Structure 1
């Protein structure tokens, strides 16, 4: 072959390599792959095939031509899935990102509409994953809505108008909503105001609807004895001793009368949001991340999910920017649980420029997991029990992670430390944990273990948290936390720092928290007697649980009195804040002070401007000391 001919063939090869390759539904250009709307009817099959062959093709970027794409579970990847704070079940996923590295998925402004029980994005054992420019929604929602059009306070009935968006049937007096691949009863419910699009004022007086009562007839049920403790809240046991209380009657198609509610009867014009029974209504978060690192989300809208918008477990370094959880399609709510949730994560979590609106639980929850020691199996090994049924299968950490031993009767902090050698999962509840070191002599059955390495730093910046049920931020990490330049208007506390050891078993404590330059607008409207910012433990103890708190230069526009509730706190400064009477509602608890302090010490309140309703600024118990109000 002559030199000129060689040059010619080389030129042709370079030309070919530089060109795009097109097959049905996708176009490849180097390391980038573009999907087009020819697959929009059900993009799942081609997407799965593409993900399976990414390594062979050396693809690093998946793009979608801007459009609306549907994803169905019928041809999605199916696996038995255990997701923290969700139900364990066989669930399918459309984007199984398993053992992937340096991958970008760019929707380019597309909307992805999912159908039925399917997890849109499942990210496992992966790193450097970037997802951007996409909206997530469901064709049919996992919740249902009914507007109150009439009530009878004497007969204690109310009538709901239910639109065609929420198909239903009545089975022996029980209202059941029918979805694609799913159904739910009334179950957990809450009242919303259609004018404000927020939870109704004092909704706790009206909802949840009292759907259950104690069973009237039993025989020898009390004689059943379990060898081991059982979780009576789990779906396996939750129906024992409980029967249906509410009954439903159809007056005409789309108009339902409800009988048997024993709280206050909902007002005409309000909207009841219903999502089914607890333990049966969290199956499909929009994003699930586990045992991964360096995951980022940019320009994401999550309009709905059966559970959380984003749930991350055992993952290091997560960044979300312009990640918005908002309703769509005329619905009054977005996700049926938290907007975002982080369990056993590490590194740094950054949450910037986000809107979390109208979800049926908290905006952000960051914590670890307590696991209780049930047996001591040798010098290096213990057995543990996972406490809450929706934490089943959770892995406390990886090899050589630092594990703390916690006895809450003695301290809220670890009294001994060891390093993890291995975790053997026998089943979802029961695991065997081995350590590199000999177990300390002080260890005993009933103690908790927590992963001291599995707590992240947290930044929440320029965010807006509004119109949701429950809290704004739940903070349980001892690493540095900064909450700044954000807006809060929530049904319960705006910011809650808990030590929670007996229900969800969510471990962690706050030891370095700054809350600055935020606006708090009419929080705690639901009716629970709690402060806007609250530090709380579920363990009756005078031990210190929280330290090094700075709350500065915030504005509280509040209808009610209680602003800060400090329990078991050491070293808190509340400085330069402004407290105003919003005058938007009547006080629910007019006898409360603005600041309530229990079992705390070394608290300073100075240079604050107060024009609220409270006639008492500070109330403290006898156990608290060195509390200065200037």
Structure 2
């Protein structure tokens, strides 16, 4: 009996030890070998399956070299799982199909580290227009891009191959199209690709263009996730977004999306996109370069009130995709009036939610809401967002688009973003929100941003998509930063519906010297102090102006403290760009 009891104790201790230590699953033990030009997909998937099902604290380990992947990988229900290579420049996962690489769901604590991801074929091609008609373009493809045949093209943008960025200025354009039916790319002659187009509006002979194929999958994506870390990972391209999660707790450290080997684009869409994230998002020592849309996008979703049963039972309908309604019991929703968008009038806690149609659910709340049909609701439990030593450069759209309630961006570089470097703006067109609050932008560098296809009114743009009569984006601190405006950058700072905006200790170098520093629309309590302004041609005669278009009314901006003396300091740039990011100038 004592022997049996002792064996039982030994077994329990052993199991506990395994639970603490976990196991290492070498993909080579599943016949996934690097550098052999053989499909490694099934072997890697089997290693992932075993690691996820074995228990906690397991590691899936790749050796140095290139793994050929002819499909993506799925991981469900793991706890404290690590996927690790030998380093970003040592282990490469090379995708050979237009699909995502990792789809993860129901994961509690995961690390993906020390590897890179690329695709062959690419999700785009690029070159110079040699012929343009109303039904097609002929493009001389520039290596390393390829004249891919039998592809459907969904978007075409003009490119600047000298600056290695999407085009800027008066002929910056991008055309989105539903590809013409039964009309794929064909080869006209050696290296000349014929691209069917739905219409001819912008294209000119000699234009450098990037043509993006129909998007099909994110590189690393997932939902129902807790405590995810992406560390020391490089993504060279992807068929849609690089990194997109619905997650509670995210660390992104030493993560890079950038073009490889002379390519004109990295990913087809966003570098990072996090919808309805919770708890925290930390992004450190990372970069997003050359992607086909935003560098970083953080937001929740607006749901429309479509049916009212009583003051605590409402049907909410979504307009993005159905799973975004799965917000969870205990979540707080903020309600805004359909007549006055973005102005919250109530917050309520979800008790239960049940299906009520493909894109609708019945929500029961712990407290009554005086809602009306046509009002909107958005998750109020937004994450704390902390961004440090981050670079956004040469992308098609905004550097970062942030719709959360506690945000810090510091010691970061925004270089030649096509649209605003930083945008705070909820949107009922995209059904994304809520409006941002409690933001610190400190010790950042902005170089020649907001000059291209996605141009707005400001390098830093506070601008909801539907202008309200009152401030809805509030408590924004813009401090100790360097603005080096390009020729087409417009205003350094736009405040539409901003409240409590402070502009202090910044350095503004204005290549386009005729524009003021700040443009206002329906904003209140905007102040500035101790800023330096340098013009390359003359003294700026006006530092502040008021927008007068659309819903903007100068009489709705008040409590403004923006004297000329707030822009008459004479210090050097407080921060400068270096090869390593941003360096603080200590005078």
TM-score, length of structure 1 as denominator length: 0.76
**Cα distance, 1:373–1:592 mapped onto 2, change above 3 Å:** same
Which of 442, 448, 452 is matched with 2:380 structurally?
452
How far apart, CA to CA, are the structure 2 residues paired with 1:380 and 1:103?
A: 40
1:112-261 matched pairs, under 5 angstroms:
112-148=93-129, 150=130, 159-162=138-141, 177-178=149-150, 183-185=151-153, 187-202=154-169, 205-209=171-175, 252-255=189-192
Q: Secondary structure at the match of 2:229?
A: strand
1:83-482 matched pairs, under 5 angstroms:
93-94=72-73, 96-109=74-87, 110-148=91-129, 150=130, 159-162=138-141, 177-178=149-150, 183-185=151-153, 187-202=154-169, 205-209=171-175, 252-255=189-192, 263-266=201-204, 268=206, 270-276=207-213, 281-313=214-246, 315-378=247-310, 380-388=312-320, 391-410=321-340, 412-425=342-355, 428=358, 430-437=359-366, 439-440=368-369, 442-453=370-381, 455-478=382-405, 480-482=406-408
Q: Say which is worse superposed, 48-57 or 518-527, in terms of deviation.
A: 48-57
Are the counterparts in 2 of residues 409 and 541 from structure 1 also a CA contact under 8 Å? no
Matched, 1:539 2:463: no
Match of 1:518 in 2: 444
Task: Mark the runs of 5 or more structure 1 residues left unpaired by the alignment.
Answer: 1-12, 18-28, 74-92, 170-176, 213-237
Match of 2:64 in 1: 66
Q: Secondary structure at the match of 1:362?
A: coil
Q: Say which is worse superposed, 375-384 or 523-532, in terms of deviation.
A: 375-384
Displacement after TM superposition at 1:158 (Å) = 7.1
Match of 1:601 in 2: 524
Displacement after TM superposition at 1:273 (Å) = 0.9
Match of 2:584 in 1: none
Matched, 1:31 2:31: no
How far apart, CA to CA, are the structure 1 residues paired with 2:322 and 2:515?
A: 40
* Per-residue deviation, residues 314-363 of structure 1 (Å, max 9, x unmatched): x1110011100011243211110100011111111111111210000111
Match of 1:579 in 2: 508
* Per-residue deviation, residues 552-606 of structure 1 (Å, max 9, x unmatched): 1111111244110001111111011111135xxxx5xx76422101111111112
Match of 1:46 in 2: 43
Displacement after TM superposition at 1:298 (Å) = 0.9
Q: Secondary structure at the match of 1:537?
A: coil
Are the counterparts in 1 of residues 27 and 47 from structure 2 also a CA contact under 8 Å? no
**Cα distance, 1:481–1:164 mapped onto 2, change above 3 Å:** closer
Displacement after TM superposition at 1:33 (Å) = 2.2
How far apart, CA to CA, are the structure 1 residues paired with 2:125 and 2:421?
A: 26
Displacement after TM superposition at 1:459 (Å) = 1.1
Displacement after TM superposition at 1:61 (Å) = 1.1
**Cα distance, 1:375–1:30 mapped onto 2, change above 3 Å:** closer
Displacement after TM superposition at 1:609 (Å) = 0.6
Match of 1:172 in 2: none
Q: Tell me the matched-pair count.
A: 523
How far apart, CA to CA, are the structure 1 residues paired with 2:294 and 2:473?
A: 21
Displacement after TM superposition at 1:44 (Å) = 1.8
Displacement after TM superposition at 1:261 (Å) = 6.4
**Cα distance, 1:411–1:273 mapped onto 2, change above 3 Å:** closer
Are the counterparts in 2 of residues 499 and 545 from structure 1 also a CA contact under 8 Å? no
**Cα distance, 1:64–1:552 mapped onto 2, change above 3 Å:** same
Q: Secondary structure at the match of 2:559?
A: strand
Q: Secondary structure at the match of 2:152?
A: strand
**Cα distance, 1:601–1:206 mapped onto 2, change above 3 Å:** closer
How far apart, CA to CA, are the structure 2 residues paired with 1:569 and 1:307?
A: 33
How far apart, CA to CA, are the structure 2 residues paired with 1:316 and 1:158?
A: 45
* Per-residue deviation, residues 444-503 of structure 1 (Å, max 9, x unmatched): 1111111112x111111111111110000101001x2111111112011000000211x2
**Cα distance, 1:249–1:50 mapped onto 2, change above 3 Å:** closer
How far apart, CA to CA, are the structure 2 residues paired with 1:601 and 1:273?
A: 42
Are the counterparts in 1 of residues 49 and 75 from structure 2 also a CA contact under 8 Å? no
Q: Say which is worse superposed, 107-116 or 29-38, in terms of deviation.
A: 29-38
> Over aligned residues, Cα RMSD in angstroms?
3.2
Task: Mark the runs of 5 or more structure 2 residues left unpaired by the alignment.
Answer: 1-10, 16-20, 547-553, 567-587
TM-score, length of structure 2 as denominator length: 0.81
Q: Secondary structure at the match of 2:45?
A: helix
**Cα distance, 1:591–1:58 mapped onto 2, change above 3 Å:** closer
Are the counterparts in 1 of residues 144 and 263 from structure 2 also a CA contact under 8 Å? no
Are the counterparts in 2 of residues 32 and 59 from structure 1 also a CA contact under 8 Å? no
Q: Secondary structure at the match of 2:325?
A: coil
Q: Secondary structure at the match of 2:121?
A: coil
**Cα distance, 1:136–1:511 mapped onto 2, change above 3 Å:** same
Are the counterparts in 2 of residues 369 and 396 from structure 1 also a CA contact under 8 Å? no
Are the counterparts in 1 of residues 379 and 434 from structure 2 also a CA contact under 8 Å? no
Q: Say which is worse superposed, 356-365 or 615-624, in terms of deviation.
A: 615-624
* Per-residue deviation, residues 269-310 of structure 1 (Å, max 9, x unmatched): x5311114xxxx332111112111111011100111111110
Are the counterparts in 2 of residues 368 and 451 from structure 1 also a CA contact under 8 Å? yes
Displacement after TM superposition at 1:208 (Å) = 2.0
How far apart, CA to CA, are the structure 2 residues paired with 1:208 and 1:411?
A: 30
* Per-residue deviation, residues 110-157 of structure 1 (Å, max 9, x unmatched): 000112243211221111101100101111112222224x4799x999
How far apart, CA to CA, are the structure 1 residues paired with 2:172 and 2:418?
A: 14
